[in-house]
Amino acid sequence: LDPTDENFQKCAQIIKMNGVVGMPTETVYGLAALATSEKSCELIYQTKQRPPTDPLIVHISSLDQINQVAILQPDILPIYTCLAAKFWPGPLTMVLPKSKNIPLTATANQETVGVRFPSHLLAQKLISLTGPLAAPSANLFGHVSPVTSQHVLDDFPFLSILNGDQSEIGIESTVIQLLEGKVFIFRRGFVTEQMLGQCFIDAGLKVEIEFKKISSSSVEKQVAPGQLTTHYAIQNAQSLFLCKTEPQFPSLTQIKQLDINQKKVCVINCGLQEFKPLQQHLNLENVQWFQIFDNPTQKYFETLRFVEKLNFQIVLVIPPLEVLESGAGSGIDASLFDRILRSCSGQWFKVFQ
């Protein structure tokens, strides 16, 4: 649907009737429904085929709405105020104590809720018409996240979708929890740990930042979405990422033997400028290469969706150079690598042994 006033009213009416719609944001497209309605939140889980242990993120369209969805306790208020002033509206989700308005269905039966104030103007307009919206990524659970309205339509042909062109950032928001004067990073995103740290320094706050471990079980309750090792995956293909040294992440599996004979293989190259040695090393003479050196974070999910339509049997992903060389990354490269390893279900292959 084009973003006309008529279509905004149509989508708002669907939402108010406890339905779901596709909503553009600057990160990825969301599957949006009323955050304060248990029935609407249940419909999101049913539509996405999402396990009830995986909580939803609530989206607001102004800072004035925060008290409708969360409780700002005194111990976290200075940190919240600092982060909201710097990164909202934008791609940062803060996990806060939930208000009574948010049903436990939305939070995986936990007393906390992830809240985000998106910067996408179409998302803001829709939320201003409906009130706070729960909006996980608009894809079937575990599938590649959508960064265009067509991607949403591919997963949900029946859905009304506001068309906001391609998502500017292209990966989901950074998810953090504010707890007892500390910040815990549950999901990497565009807002990096370095950016968070600098924000606290500039504000004169002493705040510890820690990372939470990856989960491999959809049965465990998750404090935040995007925690599972298998996520963002191409259907009907084996995906692996390549590294020279063992990746510095838990819950990964090294594939010792890579059989690519008589199989349709492609390589998604996010960082290796000179790849002839790799072609020779893996005997990759008759494969298709996709180079995404220019802003690979924005283009990674788009490329996965494109590759999926071409029915490759094996997809090899070359991470950013720092990750390929050391098995770890920093800043936005680490955020991209987080999506790469999950899209490959944590499977990796050692190159140049």
Indicate the residue type of 111.
E
Q: Is 84 annotated as a binding-site member?
A: no
Flag whether 99 is marked binding.
Answer: no
Residue 173 assigned as binding residue:
yes
Establish whether 107 is an annotated binding residue. no
Task: Please state whether beta strands 347-350 and 238-243 pair in parallel, antiparallel, or not at all (unpaired).
Answer: parallel
Report the side by side order of strands in the sheet with 30-34: 21-23, 30-34, 133-134, 57-59, 112-116, 92-97, 174-179, 182-187, 208-211
For Cα atoms 185, 334, 176, give the angle at the middle one, nearest 5 degrees. Answer: 15
| Residue 116 labelled as part of a binding site | yes
Q: What is the secondary structure of 299-318 as a DSSP string?
A: HHHHHHHHHHHTT-SEEEEE
The response to whether 188 counts as a known ligand-binding position is no
300 is in an annotated binding site: no
Query: What is the spatial distance between Cα 288 and Cα 265, in angstroms, rounded to a whole number?
Result: 7
Contacts of 284 (CB under 8 A, 6+ apart): 260, 265, 267, 278, 316
Alpha helices in 121-226 (DSSP H): 121-130, 149-155, 193-203
Pick out the residues of the known binding site for L-threonine. Answer: 27, 116, 135, 173
Pick out the residues of the known binding site for ATP. Answer: 50, 59, 112, 137, 145, 187, 232
Pick out the residues of the known binding site. Answer: 27, 50, 59, 112, 116, 135, 137, 145, 173, 187, 232
